[in-house]
Amino acid sequence: MPVPIALIVVSVLLQAGAEGFLSGRLDVTASLRLSFLAFLGTTVIFAAITRLRGRSGHRPRAMAEQRRQVRHLLWSMNLASAVTFLGFYLAMAWVPAALAASLVAGVGPLAVLLMGAVRGTNPSGPAGWARAVLLLVVSVVAASCIQPGSLWGAGYRGYAGGALAALAGFSAAYLAVVSRRLGELGVEPARVMAHRFHLTYALAAVFLVLRGAGGASELSLGATAVTALGGVVVPLYLLQIGVQRCPPIVTMVLLTALPGLTYVAQVAFGDVFRPAAALAVVLLVALTVGFALMESRPRREVRSGPGALSGPRDRAEHTAPAEAHP
């Protein structure tokens, strides 16, 4: 198994464990507190790492145009990261974690293909579109089996949580596309992690202040901090390394296994075991593995425009590997 794919798989396993543990333990205040601690901590840790690395020796400076491009991409990531993670953790306050993860992951491959179509690329062809639609359908079916009636019969909170999760899925796909481009530009994953979450923790802090203390949460501050480190900071760094080296469609296909593994974690933490859900999870994971292998096969991409973020493989080979300083 290639190292980038292995890192994404490990990241998915860690995230699934954390999300399974969090399911049913988060209210809105706790979800905002988790977001604030996780992403402020991520920024501080990786800002320190990049500063120490910067002092360890001389690094080549990127061209001025490349630095501007990197700054633009990182600010785009700030916005997309805020939408993705705040949307997802808030969705988990209203719908079960496995359902939220199913919607986020299910729309991911289709969102990547839609963005490629808008930019004039055709990375997978008709078969790729069919695979993406099938993954979305199976993800929704799996979500329905995992928590019957949790979305369609939960009133406005269920619909709001589902809409937030779907929006987070589109934003996550955009993050995969931008991360791949940053990888082509030679930006270190640690530097990306140090710069991509400023808006996320700032908005979480603002919402916490506006909301006030809130009610008593099942998740203590200590448990929140540990979950933030082990379930967010570490897996997101591994994911960032992998996603900068994998085509976005491969990344998003691999991430569709997250809902099923989240359900497994929920059962391990005391949720109800449902045979139909287990079968749906097995099918979803099998499709994920098979489709990821298909999407990772070498091929040439059709491109019709110089501004596409997700260019062909040979474009990365001609990109200077100098580190771009934002």
- Kindly report the length of the chain: 326
Q: How far apart are CA 16 and CA 191, in angstroms?
A: 25
pLDDT in tens, 202-228: 998 998 888 775 555 667 778 888 888
Among 20, 19, 10, 12, which residue's Cα sits nearest to residue 38?
A: 19
Residue 313 lies in a domain: no
pLDDT value of position 152: 53
CA atoms within 13 A on the CB side of 124: 28
Q: How many domains is the chain built from?
A: 1
Residue 308 lies in a domain: no
Q: How far apart are CA 128 and CA 130, in angstroms?
A: 5
Q: How far apart are CA 242 and CA 3, in angstroms?
A: 8
CB 46 within 8 A of CB 190: yes
pTM above 0.75, yes or no: yes
**Mean pLDDT throughout 89-115?**
82
Among 197, 214, 222, which residue's Cα sits nearest to residue 93?
A: 214
Burial of residue 90, with CB atoms counted within 10 A of its CB: 0-12 exposed, 13-18 middle, 19 or more buried: buried
Residue 24 lies in a domain: yes
Distance of CA 40 to the CA centre of its chain: 17
Distance of CA 273 to the CA centre of its chain: 26
CA atoms within 13 A on the CB side of 27: 11
Q: How far apart are CA 97 and CA 125, in angstroms?
A: 32
**Mean pLDDT throughout 289-301?**
73
Residue 203 lies in a domain: yes
Residue 326 lies in a domain: no
Question: Is the model's pLDDT at 108 over the cut of 50?
Answer: yes
Residue 320 lies in a domain: no
Residue 325 lies in a domain: no
Residue 324 lies in a domain: no
pLDDT in tens, 297-318: 765 544 444 444 444 444 333 3
CB 245 within 8 A of CB 4: yes
**Mean pLDDT throughout 100-114?**
86
pLDDT in tens, 277-287: 889 888 988 99
Two structure tokens written together for 173: 């796909």
Measured CA distances, 277 to 23, 24, 144, 256 (Å): 16, 18, 8, 15
Domain of residue 92 covers: 3-299
The secondary structure of 120-174, three-state, reads CEECCHHHHHHHHHHHHHHHHHHHHHHCCCCCCCCHHHHHHHHHHHHHHHHHHHH
Measured CA distances, 137 to 114, 123, 132, 284 (Å): 16, 21, 9, 10
pLDDT in tens, 238-261: 999 999 998 888 889 998 888 888
Q: What is the mean pLDDT of the chain?
A: 80
